[in-house]
A = this chain, B = another copy of it.
Amino acid sequence: MAEPQTIPVLDKGFVRLVDAMGDDRRIVQAARVSYGEGTKTVREDAALIDYLMRHRHTSPFEMVEFTFHVKAPIFVVRQWFRHRTASVNEISARYSVLKDEFYEPTPEELRTQSEVNKQAGEGRLPEAEAERAAALLAAAERDVYARYQELLELGVAREQARSVLPVGIYTEFYWKQDLHNLLHFLRLRLDHHAQAEIRAYARAVAKFVKARVPLVWRSFEEHVLNARTLSASEIAALRKQIEPQAYEAALKEAGLSKSRVREALEKLFGEA
């Protein structure tokens, strides 16, 4: 079992690696089963993994599995659990009295509503507003917790009393997922469209993943995270402006292998 490690996230949360199974080598083994005798030869692990990643041969990546223990506010957890291909055990507020722990952003962490992007916050609030808002938010959470306790003292069942608790309250869960689906989670939740709070968790998860499967991580950055998908029209518009020889030279200069240069040219100049 991997040495448990914990990365703090937000003001009171964390991501802890509970366990992991498999690594870069396991992916190669599993892929080689698929290819049988035919490819047992000298292909390097890194090259095979890179090939699998850029051609979206995803099944070998499912052979690696991670288990995390996470503490996060409910509103983050609600986004997190939209990813259905994972196993989850979460604290039940029916069984247990939830603790008095809320996400309380500092004034500096408060964002204004973006006018362009309806779903996003961006930029910082003016200082005075930020101070007031942070205080207001913290007070709201303190007050509501007092009421939760009053309801419990009046004898109201935990499962009903909790309905006053805010989605900023912290909860904890075990979360187990395979690497393929984990990378999908990371692609979406490391993206700048994701809410800053869940992005902070995604960065912590990414650290554990990178440490466990460094070859995969390199290919993931190259072919997924920092790659860009260009639509048919964009490809058509680009094609007219690119000189194939110059592009080929630039690709070689960047150190791409022969087969990758060929693939890259085919993307732009091959048939749809």
Interface residues of A (CB under 8 A from B): 18-22, 26, 29-31, 33-39, 54-56, 59-60, 62-63, 65, 67, 69, 73-75, 78, 81-82, 84-85, 87-99, 102-103, 105, 110-114, 118-122, 125-126, 129, 132-133, 136-137, 139-141, 143-144, 147, 150-152, 154-160, 162-168, 172-174, 176, 178, 180, 188, 193, 195, 221-223, 225-238, 240-243, 246-247, 250-251, 253-256, 264, 267-268, 272
Contact = CB atoms under 8 A, between A and B. Distances in A.
A19 B92 CA distance: 31
* Copies held by the complex: 4
Contacts of A233: 222, 251, 254-256
Nearest to A264: B234
A114 B159 CA distance: 10
Q: Chain A contact residues: over half helix, strand or loop, or mixed?
A: mixed
Contacts of A121: 156-160
The 5 closest A-B pairs by CB, nearest first: A121-B157, A36-B96, A163-B168, A62-B87, A226-B232
B228 A235 contact: yes
Contacts of A29: 18, 174
B144 A21 contact: no
A157 B115 CA distance: 10
B95 A38 contact: yes
B91 A36 contact: yes
